Amino acid sequence: MQNQIKLQAVGSHPESQPKLIKSPVAPIPEEALRKRIGGKVLLSIVVNDKGRVSDARVLSGPQELHQVAIDRVRQWEFEPPAHPPVETKVEIGFGYPMECPGPISDRGEVFLGGWLESKKGIVVGPDWDAGQPLPPYFTEDRKAGIAGGMLLSITVTPDGRVKNVRIIKALSPHLDREAMETVRQWRFKLIKGSPNGLPDDFELRITYRATCNPRF
């Protein structure tokens, strides 16, 4: 979840708008994440002589984001204002990148389909603890409008290595080639079944999505 911050001093000394020097990010509530709730939260805060937020109250915004907005500004630090205390209005925008056409997109995202299950019922998963990279999603491909799903067939050996990578559903020659090369370097962990059932064949789905940053 991304955010944008706007500050506006109010009161008798608007020229003494304090300078924000530290703005830690507070965790987003689980309900807001699950429902993908975004929007703007407007708060009134008071900055004391030490540059800390001594009071904060919500003026408007989605109810699910009120507490996280308060928790966030309570952690902020400002340069000590010239005429403390200073009342300041703060607007925090919370938003998620949204899927959009590649030519106007800001960035791209790559997703996997989760654990892999073979026809024999053996389940494996990528060993992310090994620091394995996702397949690249090149800017030129994204801007050209190439997006969607790719399906690979891979063979996983008893020691978790990958061999016999082939394309079942192609996306583009460029991304297909790079995805196959990336996946060949991966290691997998056995999730369910006997290691004696390996090597075995699995289908790996990879999804490429172009996204636009939220516009507040």
| Together in a domain, 56 and 110 | no
To the question of pTM greater than 0.85 for the whole model, the response is: no
Longest dimension (CA), the chain: 77
- List, for the chain, all residue ranges whose pLDDT scores fall below the cut of 70: 1-3, 9-16, 26, 216
Six-digit token pair at 14? 């608007």
CATH number at residue 110: 3.30.2420.10
How many angstroms separate the Cα of 134 from the Cα of each of 140, 175, 179, 181? 17, 12, 8, 11
How many domains is the chain built from? Answer: 2
Predicted pLDDT at 170? 97
User: Going by C-beta distance under 8 Å and a sequence separation of 6 or more, which residues neighbour residue 185?
Assistant: 132, 162
| Together in a domain, 66 and 118 | no
| Together in a domain, 115 and 81 | no
| Together in a domain, 149 and 207 | yes
| Together in a domain, 111 and 67 | no
Among the candidates 55, 71, 95, a domain finishes at 95
| Together in a domain, 48 and 84 | yes
> In this structure, are residues 10 and 17 in contact, taking their beta carbons and an 8 Å threshold?
no
> In this structure, are residues 142 and 160 in contact, taking their beta carbons and an 8 Å threshold?
no
Say whether 134 sits in a helix, a strand or coil. Answer: coil
| Together in a domain, 104 and 208 | yes
Structural domain boundaries, residue 180 = 99-212
- The CA-CA-CA angle for residues 99, 1, 127, to 5°, reads 85
Six-digit token pair at 206? 């990879």
> In this structure, are residues 97 and 107 in contact, taking their beta carbons and an 8 Å threshold?
yes
Predicted pLDDT at 168? 98
Dihedral over Cα of 212, 94, 45, 50: its sign: negative
- Tabulate helix, strand, coil % of the chain (nearest 5): 20, 40, 35
| Together in a domain, 8 and 91 | yes
Among the candidates 95, 127, 153, a domain finishes at 95
Predicted pLDDT at 129? 85
pLDDT tens digits along 20-59: 998 887 677 777 777 778 888 999 999 999 999 999 999 9
| Together in a domain, 44 and 76 | yes
The side-by-side arrangement of strands in the sheet containing 2-9 is: 2-9, 86-95, 39-47, 53-60
Task: Encode 135-150: b = buried (16+ Cβ within 10 Å), e = exposed.
Answer: bbbeeebbeeebbeeb
Predicted pLDDT at 54? 96
| Together in a domain, 185 and 122 | yes
| Together in a domain, 128 and 188 | yes
Predicted pLDDT at 12? 47
